[in-house]
Amino acid sequence: MSATSETALLEGMPFDPTAPLTPSGNLRRRTAVSRFVQITATAAAVFAVAVLLIVLYGVVSRGASALSFGFVIHNPSGLAGGGIFNSLLGTLEIVAIGALIALPIGILTGLYLTEFAGPRSRTAAALRFALDIMAGLPTIIVGLFVYGLIVIPQHRQSGFAGAVALAIVMLPLMARSSQEVLLLVPGSLREAADALGVSRWRTVLSVILPAAFGGILTGAILATARAAGETAPLLICDSIGYNPFATELNPFHGVPSASMFIYQSYDLPLAQAVTRAWGAAFVLMMLILIANVLARLILARSRAKMGR
Amino acid sequence: MFGLCALAGVLVVLTLVDVVLQLVNNAQPAISKFGLGFVTSSRWQPNFGVEGVLALLYGTVVVSLIAVVLATPLGIAIALYLSMMAPPRVRAVVGPLVELLAAVPSIIYGFWGLVVLVPFIDKLEPGLHSALGFIPVFGPASPIGISVFTAGLVLTVMILPIISALSRDLFLTVPSELKDGAAALGATQWEVIRGIVLPTTVSGVTAAVVLGLGRALGEAIAVSFVIGDVTRIPKSLFDPGASIASEIANQFTSPVNALHTASMFYAGLVLVVIGMLTSVAARTIAGRFDVSQRVI
């Protein structure tokens, strides 16, 4: 409605319904502003996708030249030769130990929040708050914490210390995602189990957890993928004290990792060393992106199943 | 089963308390030597003496503010596009792609920032300086493209998905009756956004921005690659600097003496206090909205 007809209405002038519905100057300005906002928002989305593609291209174009089958099955040799087998294996080991610690605790915390604490429980609110703060802890601080907790008493950095640090990074993410997925489990399932006289823990183990399995798995994969790319905690807890050219599987010794390999390569004085680091970045990023896509597919499938 | 679950919850809280205790404990030598003057002194030169964290704190705040100032309008615009404008098929592709930005590890952002972004900034900064140099913060361009500004840009990319994903979820909760009602009264899409969508979600969006700020404040690795590791208070955006987290990353494995290590723990403690304040702030601002970092 244009400004003139508005004042006309206010002054009690008869409204002419036969007036043509063409935009007056004011409406044209309003649509133009709206159009401008739409274009800006679209441009912002295009920009974000472009940044992702630029980052991916940057890594792929530089990493691909280092890549070969031998690159992932050989240990590094010298400053620039060989591959990243020991680093990849180390990352897998550290992340696996971290996940073994964090996933059960995270799922149990999620279960406590949804199944055992009432909706208005103060304890649950406090716990949720603690999880939020834990998720907001800078990862380098987590590294400092584990350094004080494990590295100082043991007088040595170790893969285990790194794994504990990664567990602390994963825990709040895992608890949060389990909580969200468990809330999606229909209440009718719980009521049906109650009606059959099934005890609470039995309901949780044989009804609720199976129903939420897909979502919990998604959360677990995403939290693990996040941890696999973490560098700061490993820098503090597991960055020296291992032979960078050898495979080390004992978690109570220093264990090499892919992210530390990249971190330590960037100031080596050889162009080939940097190329090798790009190769490692490529492999690490692909593993993480594949895990993310996989997790989303699993989530979509389990959502579809739950909606049925 | 209840016992196990409660135990897990207790463990979470205990860990959090122990984080603070460990930091205080290991920072003890620095705390007793410097006291609270630590946060007001800017001298951080490990080889000659460390007295305070102010220069690092300043760098931390500046890079995070650059990131928040750039990422907030961008993130909200992306969220608006994804929640109100994009056709369903485009949304199903673009939404996850934007979220993938959050999955890229910080080490890769750092490496990419150093090798790809820094040479680009090196070309961009002289232009910005000559165009905006009359404003004091746009000082002479850094000679190699490593600067507080570069670190801010890398952080912008890193917190963009946090702000956009959380805001999008908030915008989707706005009741369609309100939006359709406004549209039926003749409001254009922008008027619906400005009159309905933003006012109803403003507290949640602010909380999302504060969460992004918290993430930026604590980022260590990506920043340490591109900020230049100069522990002076930067005079302009294009000066190199250092942040608390990046400085810990740079120096922790090669401390000069025990006091240096203790000072880094003290600096970490300062960072934790700031981080916890942002978490509390986000929670308080969010009000009825449930805004917190998540992976799904």
- Is the pLDDT assigned to residue B164 strictly greater than 90? yes
Contacts of A235 in chain B (CB under 8 A): 221, 249, 252-253
Could you read off the pLDDT of A105-132 as tens digits, one per residue?
999 999 999 888 877 888 888 898 899 9
Mean pLDDT across chain B: 89
Contacts of B19 in chain A (CB under 8 A): 137, 141-142, 145
Give the pLDDT confidence score for residue B238 in this predicted structure.
Answer: 85
pLDDT band at A9 (very low <50, low <70, confident <90, very high): very low
pLDDT band at A2 (very low <50, low <70, confident <90, very high): very low
> Could you give the 3-state DSSP secondary structure of residue B189?
helix
Q: B213 vs chain A: nearest CA distance in angstroms?
A: 10
Cα-flanking dihedrals φ and ψ of residue A231, to 5°? -115, -40
Give the pLDDT confidence score for residue A19 in this predicted structure.
Answer: 62
Contacts of B2 in chain A (CB under 8 A): 112, 116, 200-201
Give the pLDDT confidence score for residue A3 in this predicted structure.
Answer: 47
Question: Left (φ > 0), alpha (ψ -120 to 50) or beta: where does A137 sit?
Answer: beta
Lowest mean pLDDT among A215-229, A247-261, B37-51, B198-212: B37-51
Over residues B114-131, the mean pLDDT reads 84
Nearest to A213 by CA among A167, A178, A186, A176: A178
Rounded to an integer, what distance in angstroms lies between the CA atom of residue B107 and that of residue A67?
Answer: 19
Q: How far is CA A270 from the centre of its chain?
A: 33
pLDDT band at B296 (very low <50, low <70, confident <90, very high): low
Contacts of B165 in chain A (CB under 8 A): none
- Is the pLDDT assigned to residue A308 strictly greater than 80? no
Over residues B114-120, the mean pLDDT reads 88
- Is the pLDDT assigned to residue A7 strictly greater than 70? no
Give the pLDDT confidence score for residue A71 in this predicted structure.
Answer: 82
pLDDT band at A1 (very low <50, low <70, confident <90, very high): very low
Whether residues A109 and B116 touch (CB distance < 8 A) is answered with no
Mean pLDDT across chain A: 86
Percent of all residues in chain B with a pLDDT value above 90, rounded to a whole number: 55
Percent of all residues in chain A with a pLDDT value above 90, rounded to a whole number: 49
- Is the pLDDT assigned to residue B160 strictly greater than 90? yes
- Is the pLDDT assigned to residue A13 strictly greater than 70? no
Contacts of B25 in chain A (CB under 8 A): 148
Axis-axis angle for helices B148-172, B198-218 (nearest 10)? 140
Whether residues A45 and B295 touch (CB distance < 8 A) is answered with no
- Is the pLDDT assigned to residue B14 strictly greater than 80? yes
Lowest mean pLDDT among A175-184, A189-198, B45-54, B241-250: B45-54
Over residues A264-288, the mean pLDDT reads 86
The partner residues of B241 in beta bridges, in order of sequence, read B228
Could you read off the pLDDT of A214-233 as tens digits, one per residue?
899 999 999 999 999 999 99
Rounded to an integer, what distance in angstroms lies between the CA atom of residue B86 and that of residue B88?
Answer: 6
Over residues B87-116, the mean pLDDT reads 91
- Is the pLDDT assigned to residue A10 strictly greater than 60? no
Could you read off the pLDDT of A24-73 as tens digits, one per residue?
678 888 889 999 999 999 999 999 999 999 999 999 998 888 888 778 88
Closest by Cβ to A266, choosing from B4, B96, B114: B114
Over residues B139-165, the mean pLDDT reads 88
pLDDT band at A173 (very low <50, low <70, confident <90, very high): very high
- Interface-testing mutation among A24, A123, A145, with chain B (most B C-beta atoms within 10 A): A145
Give the pLDDT confidence score for residue A235 in this predicted structure.
Answer: 93
Over residues B100-115, the mean pLDDT reads 91
pLDDT band at A93 (very low <50, low <70, confident <90, very high): very high
Over residues A92-105, the mean pLDDT reads 95
CA distances from residue B72 to A109, B66, B194, B202, B213 in whole angstroms, order as listed: 32, 10, 16, 12, 10
Q: pTM to 2 decimals?
A: 0.90
* Chains A, B: CB pairs < 8 Å: 276
Rounded to an integer, what distance in angstroms lies between the CA atom of residue A257 and that of residue B258?
Answer: 27
Rounded to an integer, what distance in angstroms lies between the CA atom of residue A164 and that of residue A237?
Answer: 9
pLDDT band at B38 (very low <50, low <70, confident <90, very high): confident
